[in-house]
Copies of this chain bind each other. A is one copy, B any other.
Amino acid sequence: MREVEKWGIFELSVKGPEEGNPFTEQTIEGEFAGKWESVHTVGFYDGDGVYKIRFMPSFTGEYAYKVQTSFGGPVRGGFCVTEPGEGNHGPVRVKNRFHFAYEDGTPYLCLGTTCYVWDLQSDERIAETLTSLAHSAFNKIRFCILPKHYDFNLGEPRSYPFEGTPMDSSVLTRDNFLEYGNCSPGNSWDFARFNPEHFRHIEYCIRELGKLGIEADLIVMHPYDRWGFSRMSEEEDDRYWNYVLARFSAFRNVWWSLANEYDLMRSKTIKDWERFAALICKGDPYGRLRSIHNCIPFYDYSRPWVTHCSIQRQDLYKTSEMVGEWRERYGKPVVLDEIAYEGNIPHGWGNISGEEMVRRFWEAVCRGGYPGHGETYWNEEGVLWWSHGGTLHGESHKRFQFLMDIWKEAPGDGLMPCGDFWSEVCAVPEASLTDSVRAKDYYLIYYSFMQPVFKEYHIDDETGYRLSVIDTWNMTIEERGVVSGKFRVQLPGRPYMAIRLEKVNI
């Protein structure tokens, strides 16, 4: 009997017809049942007469399946689900309303980056990106399934999702690219025939990310288009969505981002997005995380299918600083998938310093949110992390493991903002469903751009706290012994400092 580990993928291939259009004329679907679950899933045509169906089991033990196709009799069989392997904690779920955890209970502190089309670059660049990620603190990456047409990213992708031929890109320049809208002449696509190689390659990328413990936040649609992929018909859109769902749903590290900057996709309406959301809820039987990313107006994150906010910077100055308000408004995890990019390109969203990026990260974390990174340093080669992946050139990414180490040591299910502080940002443990962790157990106080030479506190008269002074930029932690009652903390009078108070159990 075949074996598959819990939260791994059981995949079945069936030979079938190649003639006609297998994508539209044939179907494959199946039932997968163990003692604790029974799941119906849909498969897909993978080219060359091969039909595939995938299933992710959530329990150990014996499973049976029955797969039915439009072209032959049912296929039955069974497999055994073993304990998850090392590093396999299952899919990420929302935990305690504002936070995340892997399905095995391991906390997941989301610290993402964005490389929109790293997956559509050369093998060498992809390997370089994976190496960069392996040496980083990132545990999520946002990227696109469809190729991207945008400033600094005007070349051809390694492959296209449909059969056909693209317009001639040699006419494009930084000055004229905006004129090439998403229905330029010269494109010739058959939206009813997918290019399986394109999707197989993205599965490779998802798997490689999985090996590194990184979640794949898949951007399924986006407006940066010269090929017409953002202007397909309802029928074409739905077929694309169902193909994506059939292929990628079973990967435990997949998240769904319906779109990047959905509001820039002029030919789609809220009705369309809600229809896609319904397709996900049907086509992804595992309930993977779902959101949608804005340019200017937020999508209504209170919609029931939205599992978490996926927020872009709201103005030049304040975004991380708004996390508390957004937590209250939506009652869901607040993921800041874009708080501007560290870099130096002309675009206002793409030229903040490393210091400012790290500041925004700490501001977000200390308010109970989850910040995301990106990098846009201009270079002669035109390889920008934000779009192509490759190598990190900035300063902020070097400081995230330090932040992560401190973050991980905090007690409870994540952090939340403490409203009792007037002019500093203070994180305390999230309001817990149990009594094991209390707000007064732990304080992480961040001074942002402020540079006090001392601060004074008075938590209460009884509790003793281990005091640490943290330099978030220079990455030092200075232990200052135990304090209690009214106490003063001497500080160096530099920006980007923080202190930590950990309750001493006596």
Binding site for B on A (CB under 8 A): 175, 316-318, 321, 344-349, 351-353, 356, 378, 422-424, 447-456, 486, 493, 495
Contacts and interface: CB of A to CB of B under 8 A. Distances in A.
A317 B317 contact: yes
Contact of A453 (B378, B424, B448, B451): B378
A423 B455 contact: no
Copy count, this protein chain: 2
Contact of A344 (B347, B348, B351, B453): B453
A425 to B, nearest CB: 9
Given A344-B493, A493-B344, A452 B317 contact: no
16 contacts: A316-B321, A316-B423, A317-B318, A318-B318, A344-B452, A344-B493, A345-B453, A346-B454, A346-B455, A346-B456, A348-B423, A348-B450, A349-B423, A351-B447, A352-B450, A353-B449
Nearest to A421: B348
Contacts of A449: 352-353, 356
Contacts of A450: 316, 348, 351-352
* Majority-rule SS of A interface residues: loop
A259 to B, nearest CB: 22
Contacts of A321: 316-317
A353 B447 CA distance: 12
A300 to B, nearest CB: 26
Contacts of A452: 344-346, 351
**6 closest Cβ pairs, A-B complex:** A348-B423, A344-B493, A344-B453, A351-B450, A351-B452, A346-B455
A449 B351 CA distance: 9
Nearest to A447: B351
A343 to B, nearest CB: 8
A422 B346 CA distance: 11
Nearest to A316: B423
B423 A347 contact: yes
Contacts of A456: 346
Contacts of A495: 353
A81 to B, nearest CB: 51
A377 to B, nearest CB: 9
Given A353-B495, A378-B453, A453-B378, A316 B448 contact: yes
Contacts of A356: 449
Nearest to A342: B451
A380 B394 CA distance: 40
A451 B353 contact: yes
Contacts of A348: 422-424, 450
A449 B359 CA distance: 12
Given A316-B321, A316-B423, A348-B423, 10 more contacts: A317-B318, A317-B321, A344-B451, A345-B452, A345-B453, A348-B422, A348-B424, A352-B449, A353-B449, A353-B495
